[in-house]
Amino acid sequence: MRTRTSGGPPTVPLPRMPARHLPWLGPLPAFHRDPVALLRGARERVGNAFAFPLLGQDVVFVSGPEAHAEVFEADETVLSPREAYRFLKPVFGRGVAYDAATPEEMDAQIAPLRAALGSRNLDGYVRVMEAETRAQVARWPAEGEIDLLTELNRLTVAIATRCLIGEEFHRRMGPELPRLYRELESGIRFAGILSAKAPLPAFRRRDRARAALAEAIGEVIAERRRRRPPDEPAGPAADGQDMLAVLLAARTEDGRPLPDDIVTGMLIAMVFAGQHTSAVLAAWTGVLLLHHPEYVPRLRGEQEELWAPGSPLGTRALHRMELLDHCVREAERLYPPLVLLMRKALRDTVILGHHVPAGSLVMVSPAVAHRMPEVFRDPDRFDPSRYAAGRAEHRRPYSLISFGGGKHRCVGPAFAYLQVKAAWSVLLREVDLRPARSGYVPDYSTLVPGPATPCTVRYRKRPGRPS
């Protein structure tokens, strides 16, 4: 049956998810166990748009490039990312990012971040990425076993804090940083969408970690401000500046410096988002190469051709490593760091011809979208050649959506790709890896699912390779 919405064209009612629903909870047990399997199975049965209840919330799920375009390009007064992600307020802080008072204020906060992650800073960041990866490998014995995800989390925390907050903070916090960011990450649970203040142990750990990070960042900000008076005119971002320097140089519309609590929140948000998603993407890249070792000799050949021994790694070489880029993008397609992206419907709207009521939580899933056979040939297969010239399946708009899309596309994909490629450039050159277990599966206990731990791999340092 078709109906009309606000005098517009006829709409088709949303089909319901064909799954067992519990009162108020909806399909929560299956959703918590494996949301991708649940959503993918429902899509195969009822199509690219359907509705279901979850934790007392009406959810509308849509999939496919056309649906993604409608969601990501919708006006914020209709589909709001700020309202959907307010559960991140305890991590980012009051008034920061999705908790900003208005969409315009959120945009003003994000604008300086684009300068810090701009192309003129990337070469300096790559030098940090190479140095930190070499230092990490140097701490390993000649051979043994490591938890790949744990090691990559440590690595990306070190890289992100040095590049984004600065050397002082990195030295001050040292080995405490991975633990604090792990406890922050433990507070990202789907239950938080309902109530980010629920009395859960993970949420209490999150709050303590956030307070410790904020205190340490505040001390660094105070030191920087003493060295540079707040009324000193702001200039353009200098080459190699960390993000803290850019944020301290930024000014509001009326010419005032950004408040310290906003600077602190933006730094926590950027390190948190960039570090964890990069670690997960790097881990899945490694897991897939372990399962497809035929690519390793070709990747090393590409390394030898483009990165001379003894020379520093740079953005020019990384951008030319085509096979490595394709392997990373294929890992991103098969195991995107974020399996759900959300908007809150503030008004009745229409998506794919279906009426979406105000108040609905609208979801898209990169993990579902990236395995649509209508978009990607043989979608469950690891096939880096799908990105090669002449094929380029990902070129269709909104086919790959790991970093979102539209106005609120992630500000740091260039940094993330470089970080993963720099890490694997060093690792491929310095160590041989092989699986230490029969299979690696996603851990869906958080919204950023990496391989379930322990993600154990065996390694042996390659002879004659300095670390």
CATH code: domain of residue 329 = 1.10.630.10
317 and 416: one domain? yes
Q: What percent of the chain shows pLDDT beyond 90? A: 63
Name the residue range of residue 389's domain: 1-100+339-401
265 and 326: one domain? yes
Model pLDDT, residue 4: 47
209 and 182: one domain? yes
What is the gyration radius of the CA atoms in the chain, in angstroms?
Answer: 22
70 and 151: one domain? no
* Among candidate residues 401, 431, 448, the one where a domain is terminated: 401
* Among candidate residues 351, 372, 401, the one where a domain is terminated: 401
Model pLDDT, residue 337: 94
84 and 147: one domain? no
Annotated binding site for heme: 410
Q: What is the pLDDT of residues 293-343, one digit of tens each?
A: 999 999 999 999 999 988 999 999 999 999 999 999 999 999 999 999 999
Model pLDDT, residue 234: 41
Confidence band for 235, pLDDT divided at 50, 70 and 90: very low
Q: Are the CB atoms for 43 and 63 separated by under 8 Å?
A: yes
Confidence band for 251, pLDDT divided at 50, 70 and 90: confident
The CA distance from 460 to 138, in Å, is 12
12 and 75: one domain? yes
175 and 215: one domain? yes
Residue scoring higher pLDDT (263 or 411): 263
Model pLDDT, residue 124: 86
Q: What is the pLDDT of residues 344-364, one digit of tens each?
A: 999 999 999 999 999 999 999
How does the average pLDDT of the chain come out, rounded? 89
Contacts of 105 (CB under 8 A, 6+ apart): none
Model pLDDT, residue 203: 86
213 and 83: one domain? no
Annotated binding site: 410
311 and 201: one domain? yes
Q: What is the pLDDT of residues 32-73, one digit of tens each?
A: 899 999 999 999 999 999 999 998 899 999 999 999 999 999
Model pLDDT, residue 233: 42
CA distance to 158, 172, 265, per residue, from 175 (Å):
9, 9, 21
Confidence band for 427, pLDDT divided at 50, 70 and 90: very high
Confidence band for 113, pLDDT divided at 50, 70 and 90: confident
Model pLDDT, residue 238: 42
Model pLDDT, residue 2: 47
294 and 197: one domain? yes
Model pLDDT, residue 394: 85
38 and 90: one domain? yes
49 and 178: one domain? no
Name the domain count of the chain: 2
Contacts of 171 (CB under 8 A, 6+ apart): none
Confidence band for 184, pLDDT divided at 50, 70 and 90: confident
The CA distance from 274 to 258, in Å, is 22
* Among candidate residues 377, 401, 425, the one where a domain is terminated: 401
